[in-house]
């Protein structure tokens, strides 16, 4: 197993993007919690290509504190890539992923650790109990997203967040997955092992605003679905079969009218059919396109992220 000789018990991975105003306060809050623990820990803060002073802040907190390491990606690669960058550099036998905006309470980490220490779970997920800190639209978006995901992939993500503790076995399994387009929340469930859940209340961001846009969420949903299931493709196939059955019935009817000499006058139904199957065709093509694009992304084999600089010493990966 990778990193098995390490003395570090616990790694905390914090992906951040333009969190200049909060990251310093957040790390201080995290340190307060971690200092109370018997475990040897490290904090890996991944700056996902922020254009504000986030990395300077991270660097400032890391000076004279070897437990804090900062990694700066060469540009904004997205939270999924930032999390991977942190995971790949983590040394701990357990790794916690936590948002750097204060919405995930670090005070929950000791509870998560306690469950892991008992050896009863390899994955301890923090579940959102209360979403009232989120806006109506955000809650509605999440509800639709989770519903669609459950239907399509069987993964129940309701209330799920990226805030979770993973045993080294889970971390290594997730890192080993070769895909470029990643959906962490689903991947940690996919690998199996034993999951335990602890509830938490989502708090307000300490500052700044969420970087999710509706467009970003739709993109995430498409990534999540197309990287976990090919079911939509089989729907298109079933839909085609259904259309074929209808067209057989209509052909029979047309022939019947022709035989009786009462043909023509079918303009309306014809137009409807053309429009209907025309658009169905386009949708099906678009869907195929999405999957082909996914294959294209994967065969290019580009790195998921690039590192621009790091604070202090970084362990080789």
Residues 29-68 that bind ligand UDP (CB under 6 A): 48
Region of 187 on the Ramachandran plot (φ > 0 left; ψ -120 to 50 alpha; else beta): alpha
CB atoms within 10 A of CB 183: 22
**146 belongs to the binding site for ligand UDP (CB under 6 A):** no
Query: Which lies closer to ligand UDP via its Cβ, residue 53 or residue 243?
Result: 53
Q: Find, among 114, 107, 281, the residue nearest to 200 by Cα.
A: 107
**100 belongs to the binding site for ligand UDP (CB under 6 A):** yes
Least distance to ligand UDP, CB of residue 159, Å:
13
CB atoms within 10 A of CB 219: 12
| Residue number closest to ligand UDP, CB atom | 210
* Rounded-to-integer distance, Cα 316 and Cα 98, Å: 23
Binds ligand UDP (CB under 6 A): choice among 107, 137, 212, 286: 212
Residues making contact with Mg ion (CB under 5 A): 101, 103
Query: Which lies closer to ligand UDP via its Cβ, residue 21 or residue 287?
Result: 21
* Rounded-to-integer distance, Cα 43 and Cα 299, Å: 33
* Rounded-to-integer distance, Cα 202 and Cα 101, Å: 11
Query: Which lies closer to ligand UDP via its Cβ, residue 83 or residue 121?
Result: 83
* 36 secondary structure, DSSP code: T
Residue pair 9/93 in contact by the 8 Å Cβ criterion: yes
Least distance to Mg ion, CB of residue 215, Å:
17
Least distance to ligand UDP, CB of residue 11, Å:
16
Binds ligand UDP (CB under 6 A): choice among 8, 10, 12, 15: 15
Q: Find, among 306, 317, 314, the residue nearest to 70 by Cα.
A: 314
Query: Which lies closer to ligand UDP via its Cβ, residue 19 or residue 57?
Result: 19
Q: Give the one entry of Mg ion, ligand UDP, none that residue 78 binds, where binding means its C-beta sits below a cut-off of 5 to 8 angstroms depending on kind.
A: ligand UDP
Query: Which lies closer to ligand UDP via its Cβ, residue 79 or residue 164?
Result: 79
* Rounded-to-integer distance, Cα 317 and Cα 11, Å: 15
**258 belongs to the binding site for ligand UDP (CB under 6 A):** no
User: DSSP secondary structure string, 42-57?
Assistant: EEEEEE-S-SSTHHHH
**84 belongs to the binding site for ligand UDP (CB under 6 A):** no
Binds ligand UDP (CB under 6 A): choice among 101, 155, 166, 174: 101
* Rounded-to-integer distance, Cα 71 and Cα 307, Å: 7
Please report, as ranges, the residues that interact with ligand UDP according to CB under 6 A.
Answer: 15-17, 19, 48, 76, 78-79, 82, 99-101, 103, 210-212
């Amino acid at each position: 197993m990778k990193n098995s000789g390490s003395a570090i018990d616990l790694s905390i991975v914090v992906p951040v993007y333009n969190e200049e105003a909060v990251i310093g306060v957040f790390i201080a809050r995290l340190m307060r919690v971690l200092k109370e623990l018997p475990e040897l820990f490290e904090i890996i803060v991944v700056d996902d290509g922020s254009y504000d002073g986030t990395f300077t802040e991270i660097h400032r907190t890391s000076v004279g504190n070897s437990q804090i390491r900062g990694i700066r990606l060469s540009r904004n690669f997205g939270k999924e890539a930032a999390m991977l960058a942190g995971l790949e550099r983590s040394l701990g036998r357990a790794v916690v992923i936590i948002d750097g905006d204060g919405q995930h309470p670090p005070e929950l980490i000791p509870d998560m650790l306690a469950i892991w220490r008992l050896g009863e779970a390899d994955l301890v997920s923090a579940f959102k109990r209360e979403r009232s800190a989120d806006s109506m639209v955000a809650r509605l978006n999440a509800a639709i997203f989770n519903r669609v995901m459950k239907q399509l992939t069987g993964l129940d993500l309701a209330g799920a967040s990226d805030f979770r503790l993973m045993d080294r076995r889970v971390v290594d399994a997730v890192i080993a997955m070769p895909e470029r387009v990643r959906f962490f929340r689903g991947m940690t469930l996919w690998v199996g092992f034993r999951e335990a859940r602890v509830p938490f209340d989502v708090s307000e961001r300490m500052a700044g605003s969420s970087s999710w846009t509706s467009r970003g969420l739709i993109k995430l949903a498409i990534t999540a679905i197309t990287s976990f299931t090919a079911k939509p493709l089989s729907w298109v196939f079933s839909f085609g079969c259904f259309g074929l059955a209808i067209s057989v019935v209509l052909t029979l009817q047309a022939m019947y009218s022709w035989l009786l000499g009462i043909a023509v006058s079918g303009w309306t139904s014809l137009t409807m059919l053309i429009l209907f199957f025309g658009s169905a065709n386009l949708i099906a093509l678009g869907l195929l396109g999405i999957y082909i694009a996914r294959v294209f992304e994967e065969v290019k084999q580009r790195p998921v992220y690039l590192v621009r600089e790091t604070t202090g010493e970084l362990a080789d990966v």
